[in-house]
Chain A
């Protein structure tokens, strides 16, 4: 009897702990949201800040002594170009590796691959940045005859290498979650292994795979140190893969330490933070809507 009561208490205690950790995620997200908005909002409504210029001008001169200008267009273009390229590389490689690891390879290869991929995820971003700055820079100059090797291509490849492990491990989980009866049924119908993957597994696992890709996008948009070092940190609209760029995150990282708390420059950096929030929010929301759309039709 006593034991039973103890179990009941433990049960409700654990239930509350789990509930608390669930709710805490929401509290943290809103807390960060509130903080970023509070720091940036003052300038946004002050009338001194030209929002149109912010979105359409490439002139970013936050510390100018004669004429301070906050035009973030080049930074936005930089973030988009690097993210797009990295996803163009990482999504096929990541999803391909996930399919191979989960469906095609033997148990030994699987173990080795998983360890190697986890190792890839464990490399700190500053090390990636350093590789970009030294090895990749020289390599790109030699291979492409480019005047400079710190550019969209360099940053994109580095970011792709950083997001592949995330896409692989979550994508593999998604494929593993598809019940074996799907596989058995497909093979019983005479499908080859590839047909089974394409017709049965991929449609069944599409939500999980999309989540994997989205987390990869999140990593690419949010990554700071590596892109700061590998992209050249140069304000311009890229016209090709070999142009250096500067991203939104790298700008915050490089300049927040120096700007005085509460100054216009400080607040503009937080407005960039709001912009980053909005971008990730829109990406997540549209992905959610796409998934619902697919589900609705099915």
Chain B
């Protein structure tokens, strides 16, 4: 009995401890935010809160890490959660920059304006080519938008790999396993609009995964699977299909050149939104992100930069990444 009460006491102490740690964490983060707006002392590190799209989280993280060497006095804190989460954080003031893999909706712009008095500022910081992934052993090489709609759309008839005329090694049942994203992801909404068309829903029974990386991870381990995700997430275990707009037209591979020249049909701009009057640190950061140095990181993480470059070097780099 004595032993038990002692252990309860210990448990209580432990939970009090965690509570106090959590509280001090909250207080500390509160300090950070006030430090950012009021305190421009030399010893204080300025903190830029950067929240939003899961598609962009790796890229934003890479920028933040590189920027720490460029501007040691500024620390950029990146977190994901989805484009909607980022916009919500911009509205309630928790974020200085919202990462969005889609354009802000009119309602969201109105909310920012209501909170801040000014419309948010839109910055295009790169492009994302949405890739269609299959297992690396899958013999399929290219596909049309129409076929993709028949695979993923609510009324679509394609359910078996044989319907596409392929036999996938390691997939005995021949059933297509459709990998999709949860409805809070910007990628989900973009795919629905770009592939299925306005007002068309996904088929029931898709596997709705939490993150961009999870999709590629699952497809690389599942011979029967097909999935969509940002092309920056490609690994060695998966294959990216070439995509044609219509049957009979040329299919294009998801790479830098085809995205910049708009030949690849499913690519979209990536945005960073700020409030109407961002502070100097945020302005400087965005300028750096859009500069040659920032865009080099876009290239390195597998996305498509906004600045033009010679097609050859892009193709070489893309080829190197594939191997």
Q: A residues within 8 Å of B by Cβ?
A: 58-67, 74, 133-134, 137-138, 141, 145, 147-150, 228-229, 232-236, 244, 246, 254-255, 257-258
Report the interface size for chain B: residues with CB under 8 A from the other chain. 31
Contact residues in A for B206 (Cβ distance below 8 Å): 234-235
Contact residues in A for B281 (Cβ distance below 8 Å): none
| Stretch in B96-104, B221-229, B290-298 touching the partner | B221-229
Contact B172 A145 (CB under 8 A): yes
Contact A148 B224 (CB under 8 A): yes
CA distance A244 to B204 in the complex (A): 12
Given known contacts A61-B201, A255-B182, A257-B84, what 6 new A-B pairs fall within 8 Å (CB)?
A133-B214, A145-B173, A235-B206, A236-B204, A244-B205, A257-B81
Number of A-B residue pairs at CB separation under 8 A: 84
Contact A65 B199 (CB under 8 A): yes
Contact B222 A244 (CB under 8 A): no
Contact B183 A258 (CB under 8 A): yes
For residue A17, give the distance in angstroms from its CB to the closest CB of chain B: 12
Contact residues in B for A64 (Cβ distance below 8 Å): 199, 201
Nearest chain-B residue to A67 (Cβ)? B201
Contact residues in A for B184 (Cβ distance below 8 Å): 254-255, 257-258
When A147-B173, A148-B177 are in contact, do A254 and B225 touch as well, CB less than 8 Å?
no
B144 within 8 A of A: no
Contact B207 A233 (CB under 8 A): yes
B148 within 8 A of A: no
Contact residues in A for B208 (Cβ distance below 8 Å): 233-234, 246, 254
Contact residues in A for B204 (Cβ distance below 8 Å): 58-60, 74, 235-236
From A60, A134, A148, A233, residue with most partner B Cβ within 10 Å:
A148
From B201, B206, B225, residue with most partner A Cβ within 10 Å:
B201
**Consensus secondary structure, chain B interface:** loop
B177-210 residues at the A interface, CB under 8 angstroms: 177, 182-184, 198-201, 204-210
Partner of B209 from the list A60, A141, A233, A258 (CB cut-off 8 Å) is A233
**Consensus secondary structure, chain A interface:** loop
Q: B residues within 8 Å of A by Cβ?
A: 81-82, 84-85, 171-173, 175, 177, 182-184, 198-201, 204-210, 214, 217-218, 221-225
Contact A137 B221 (CB under 8 A): yes
CA distance A134 to B183 in the complex (A): 22
Contact B183 A236 (CB under 8 A): no
Nearest chain-A residue to B182 (Cβ)? A254
For residue A234, give the distance in angstroms from its CB to the closest CB of chain B: 5
CA distance A64 to B199 in the complex (A): 7
When A148-B225, A254-B182 are in contact, do A234 and B198 touch as well, CB less than 8 Å?
no
Contact residues in A for B214 (Cβ distance below 8 Å): 133, 229
CA distance A257 to B222 in the complex (A): 29
CA distance A255 to B184 in the complex (A): 6
Contact A236 B182 (CB under 8 A): no
For residue A119, give the distance in angstroms from its CB to the closest CB of chain B: 16
CA distance A133 to B81 in the complex (A): 19
Contact A258 B221 (CB under 8 A): no
Contact residues in B for A67 (Cβ distance below 8 Å): 201
CA distance A64 to B209 in the complex (A): 18
For residue A265, give the distance in angstroms from its CB to the closest CB of chain B: 9
Partner of B222 from the list A147, A235, A255 (CB cut-off 8 Å) is A147
A-B contact pairs, 15 of them (CB 8 A): A65-B199, A66-B200, A134-B221, A141-B222, A147-B171, A147-B177, A148-B225, A150-B218, A229-B214, A233-B210, A234-B206, A235-B205, A244-B205, A244-B207, A258-B85
